[in-house]
Chain A
């Protein structure tokens, strides 16, 4: 087991290194000179040279690559070409905005989804089972911008219950992070994007839980529990659901990673200043340091969550064993 974990961690570092190298090359292979975006073409050549020199773009590519790797290992991401802020500061600020948005959405999804899945399996083929399945599949199939726009149209523009976007009412400027993320104003702005995210991702944990539950419900130990005269909700929750949750746990870690990286559209629709919009802004402005850091940190997050899922699976599922320790 220990060797396996060390091996997986080593693979993870190699994967991150490869992703970092690919990102370095991809952004430099994009057509067009980065200074053409960073600096107006109306300026003369000396101005463009000046900017290239300031940001080290005048150095040969291999020198830039070595510097990039060196800085990466020191967790020094440099400064943004466009804003001059430290990339770590920019990422840190945007990261939390996204974490709160996706965190709220995922919490909703991972609480409601498995819960609904459990009840649906218990009441298989009931109107609730059929209705929830169809509903979840509709929301999963609809692009989040459609769901988001419909919610905005009805609940914001027509009924005036929620704001049209942003994280705060303009002019609201909390002094601390706690005040920022726990204020009523923030929570009010959080509702619609959260519901959009939750509706989009709900189907996965819900249907996995339902299928897993159905499999577990056919097991002998469930029959035994029922025969013991245990209350139906005790059988459903304590015996069936606990065993069925394993599949949901596995898929959730990967889903969260993808969700954090895939919220670009939701952030765009709700004018949410998070990582997704930062990715778009940085990539379109050829702001290499920010673009590389954003993509790499999201990729690293998905890779690390995969690693965590693999390791967690070893511990959670006693049927899985590795190498010499495997049981025939």
Chain B
């Protein structure tokens, strides 16, 4: 049947009609194998979230289950439930068959460690762990550990390439599609927007580089999710990171291409795999005028560790000691070599002003910094805090004394009740750009207007179909490989996502250029191939065209 580029709804219907025929022909397998069949492959549930949470996921789940049933004679049913319940069932209890989930393209996921080690190492199959698939391959475990401690980037890349091949062959999950970050902005007001992998024009680089050619110089940035928190210790979700990173500096910043580059740190040298020397940029100041020194950096790491800042807790365990070696220099001693340290800790932790945070929580009305609202955040970032009207808007202004001052006067983050009202505000000129994803159909509508651009930007995030690999039929790699040939990726991309994505292959997306293994490609959609793989593995079909396990196998 080949690949399905450019499939439209009409083609989809025609195809499904043809598929019924193929399924009927499957009965031919019955004649020769009926006596040797094992138990019927039981009905499975494909869990995902509700349309309210994400309108496309239930649609994808329906298309996938339909394909399994029609082409393989194996019944699967979509099971859309509240997202919170998804997390509970899958990540906490491991009680599921298949899970359709979206990994957003956050900057912490650019480093391959999350998708190689955390998602696939057998030790991560635990309550709250990322390897909810229960995947267990000693060879992959070895590579996952090796890439984590390999401090040489080129050598680490080779290991990561190999790991991607193994994961792809074993198929503990299938990367369905890499969706684009769909954004829109006013072309008559903004210039020089810099998209970043996984973030589109909602990126930090757009924040600091964009120019405003009309009005008061402030960029009205629309979002549909209210900002919850401005406490850099309690930071949890991507929206909080996006706003806090404007106010607080980091030692490293992830570049538009996804590479960690020195920012507040001037240089870094790896003395040994467990000893790192760092020199700070001189002349940096917090927004209240105090200088940023090595004292603040050491305080920051100690403070995050003392108070067990949840988001950073795991990475912080790798830091054994920090020694101040000069007013602007430090030495980090690690418990063991840890390659993701630079992007995922140095590139994400926010530098705290010691002179403010040393009194928290003792001199404020809370017993734990996690409960401190940090109403007037003071950092050293390129934007200083003006005000936050909770549930409505956040305003920050350019900090002109910064070593990389923004080109705009500031940013006003506005919360809209829906994607539609945000799109209307852009159309009317009340909003200048979107911070996060705009519904693809609205983006395309906006793109037809003068003075507005709607575009999709590549992302390393993906929609993922996870299997419980410790439950039949998903405990059989052959079965997982076979069903990979049936997945309707063309329909998902062209019909469900309005063309705003690319069919997925590796867990490290092509957008993540350095770490992506180009030889790992999506399995072609080939129904006959799927059936051949199943037949070869001993599966068969009964007279009703229903799929059966090989003799002696089955739940």
> Residues of A contacting B427 with CB < 8 Å?
157
B327 at the interface (CB under 8 A from A): no
Q: CB distance A286 to B84 under 8 Å?
A: yes
Contact mask A17-51 → B, CB, 8 Å, 1/0?
00000000000001111001111111111111011
**A130 → chain B, closest Cβ, in Å?**
36
**B-binding segment of A7-15, A115-123, A161-169, A226-234:** A161-169
B25 at the interface (CB under 8 A from A): no
In the complex, number of A-B residue pairs with CB atoms less than 8 Å apart = 164
Q: CB distance B414 to A47 under 8 Å?
A: no
Q: CB distance B82 to A31 under 8 Å?
A: yes
Contact mask B218-248 → A, CB, 8 Å, 1/0?
1010000010110100101100000000000
Q: CB distance B417 to A165 under 8 Å?
A: yes
> Residues of B contacting A48 with CB < 8 Å?
128, 310
> Residues of A contacting B128 with CB < 8 Å?
41, 43-45, 48
Q: CB distance B390 to A90 under 8 Å?
A: yes
A156 at the interface (CB under 8 A from B): yes
**A293 → chain B, closest Cβ, in Å?**
15
Contact residue among A43, A165, A166, A271 (Cβ-Cβ distance under 8 Å from B310): A43
**How long is the Cα–Cα vector from A321 to B216 in the complex, in angstroms?**
66
Contact mask B392-429 → A, CB, 8 Å, 1/0?
11010000000000000000101111100100110110
Q: CB distance B87 to A165 under 8 Å?
A: no
**B369 → chain A, closest Cβ, in Å?**
9
Q: CB distance B84 to A170 under 8 Å?
A: no
**How long is the Cα–Cα vector from A32 to B81 in the complex, in angstroms?**
11
**B376 → chain A, closest Cβ, in Å?**
13
Q: CB distance B395 to A173 under 8 Å?
A: yes
Q: CB distance B87 to A47 under 8 Å?
A: no
Contact mask A158-187 → B, CB, 8 Å, 1/0?
001001111111110100000000000000
Q: CB distance A170 to B220 under 8 Å?
A: yes
A315 at the interface (CB under 8 A from B): no
Interface size on A, residues (CB 8 A): 56
A243 at the interface (CB under 8 A from B): no
Q: CB distance A278 to B414 under 8 Å?
A: no
**How long is the Cα–Cα vector from A90 to B375 in the complex, in angstroms?**
13
Q: CB distance B416 to A271 under 8 Å?
A: yes
Question: When A84-B370, A273-B391 are in contact, do A32 and B236 touch as well, CB less than 8 Å?
Answer: no
Q: CB distance A43 to B428 under 8 Å?
A: no
**A93 → chain B, closest Cβ, in Å?**
6
Contact mask B375-396 → A, CB, 8 Å, 1/0?
0000000000011011111010
Q: CB distance A32 to B87 under 8 Å?
A: yes
**How long is the Cα–Cα vector from A86 to B393 in the complex, in angstroms?**
19
B368 at the interface (CB under 8 A from A): yes
A54 at the interface (CB under 8 A from B): yes
Q: CB distance A42 to B114 under 8 Å?
A: yes
Q: CB distance A277 to B84 under 8 Å?
A: no
Q: CB distance A173 to B417 under 8 Å?
A: no
A239 at the interface (CB under 8 A from B): no
> Residues of A contacting B216 with CB < 8 Å?
171
Task: Give B86's nearest chain A residue, CB to CB.
Answer: A32
> Residues of A contacting B417 with CB < 8 Å?
165, 267-272, 277
> Residues of A contacting B15 with CB < 8 Å?
none
Q: CB distance A43 to B430 under 8 Å?
A: no
**How long is the Cα–Cα vector from A79 to B375 in the complex, in angstroms?**
14
Contact mask A124-136 → B, CB, 8 Å, 1/0?
0000000000000
Task: Give B124's nearest chain A residue, CB to CB.
Answer: A44
B266 at the interface (CB under 8 A from A): no
Question: When A31-B88, A43-B311, A171-B412 are in contact, do A94 and B391 touch as well, CB less than 8 Å?
Answer: yes
> Residues of B contacting A41 with CB < 8 Å?
87, 91, 128, 130
Q: CB distance B236 to A164 under 8 Å?
A: no
> Residues of B contacting A46 with CB < 8 Å?
308, 313-314
> Residues of B contacting A36 with CB < 8 Å?
84, 87-88, 91-92
Contact mask A231-248 → B, CB, 8 Å, 1/0?
000000000000000000
**How long is the Cα–Cα vector from A157 to B371 in the complex, in angstroms?**
42
Contact mask A268-310 → B, CB, 8 Å, 1/0?
1111110001100100011000000000000000000000000
Question: When A50-B308, A165-B417 are in contact, do A44 and B313 touch as well, CB less than 8 Å?
Answer: yes
B162 at the interface (CB under 8 A from A): no
Q: CB distance A32 to B82 under 8 Å?
A: yes
Q: CB distance B424 to A152 under 8 Å?
A: yes
Task: Give B426's nearest chain A residue, CB to CB.
Answer: A164
**How long is the Cα–Cα vector from A277 to B416 in the complex, in angstroms?**
11
Interface size on B, residues (CB 8 A): 59
**How long is the Cα–Cα vector from A285 to B231 in the complex, in angstroms?**
17
**B223 → chain A, closest Cβ, in Å?**
11
Task: Give A174's nearest chain B residue, CB to CB.
Answer: B389
> Residues of B contacting A165 with CB < 8 Å?
416-417, 421, 425
Q: CB distance A156 to B313 under 8 Å?
A: no
A221 at the interface (CB under 8 A from B): no
Contact mask B75-100 → A, CB, 8 Å, 1/0?
00000011111011001100000000
B129 at the interface (CB under 8 A from A): yes
B521 at the interface (CB under 8 A from A): no
A83 at the interface (CB under 8 A from B): yes
**How long is the Cα–Cα vector from A284 to B531 in the complex, in angstroms?**
43
Task: Give B53's nearest chain A residue, CB to CB.
Answer: A284
Q: CB distance A84 to B92 under 8 Å?
A: no
Q: CB distance A50 to B393 under 8 Å?
A: no
Question: When A32-B87, A170-B414 are in contact, do A281 and B226 touch as well, CB less than 8 Å?
Answer: yes
Highest count of chain A CB atoms <10 Å: which of B83, B314, B389 = B389
Q: CB distance B428 to A31 under 8 Å?
A: no
**How long is the Cα–Cα vector from A39 to B240 in the complex, in angstroms?**
12
Highest count of chain A CB atoms <10 Å: which of B91, B128, B311, B392 = B128
Task: Give A54's nearest chain B residue, CB to CB.
Answer: B370
Contact residue among A50, A157, A171, A267 (Cβ-Cβ distance under 8 Å from B395): A171
Q: CB distance B311 to A40 under 8 Å?
A: yes
> Residues of B contacting A164 with CB < 8 Å?
421, 424-425, 428, 430
> Residues of B contacting A43 with CB < 8 Å?
128, 310-311, 313-314
Task: Give B84's nearest chain A residue, CB to CB.
Answer: A32
Contact residue among B228, B414, B421, B425 (Cβ-Cβ distance under 8 Å from A83): B228
Tell me the A45-82 residues at the B interface (CB within 8 Å): 45-48, 50-51, 54-55, 79, 82
Task: Give B108's nearest chain A residue, CB to CB.
Answer: A42
Q: CB distance B236 to A38 under 8 Å?
A: yes
> Residues of A contacting B310 with CB < 8 Å?
39, 43, 47-48, 50-51
Q: CB distance A33 to B412 under 8 Å?
A: no
B554 at the interface (CB under 8 A from A): no
**How long is the Cα–Cα vector from A281 to B237 in the complex, in angstroms?**
14
Q: CB distance B390 to A93 under 8 Å?
A: yes
**A128 → chain B, closest Cβ, in Å?**
36
> Residues of A contacting B91 with CB < 8 Å?
36, 41
Q: CB distance A54 to B371 under 8 Å?
A: yes
Q: CB distance A33 to B87 under 8 Å?
A: yes
A100 at the interface (CB under 8 A from B): no
Assuming A33-B84, A51-B370, A84-B229, what are 9 further A-B pairs, CB within 8 angstroms? A31-B84, A32-B87, A41-B130, A44-B129, A45-B128, A164-B424, A164-B430, A165-B421, A170-B393
Chain A contacts to B: CB under 8 angstroms: 30-33, 36-48, 50-51, 54-55, 79, 82-86, 90, 93-94, 152, 156-157, 160, 163-171, 173, 267-273, 277-278, 281, 285-286
Instruction: Across the A-B interface, give the 4 residue pairs with the lowest CB-CB distance, nearest first.
Output: A32-B84, A273-B391, A47-B310, A36-B87
Q: List 9 A-B contacts (CB under 8 A).
A: A30-B84, A33-B92, A55-B371, A83-B390, A90-B390, A157-B424, A165-B416, A165-B417, A170-B414
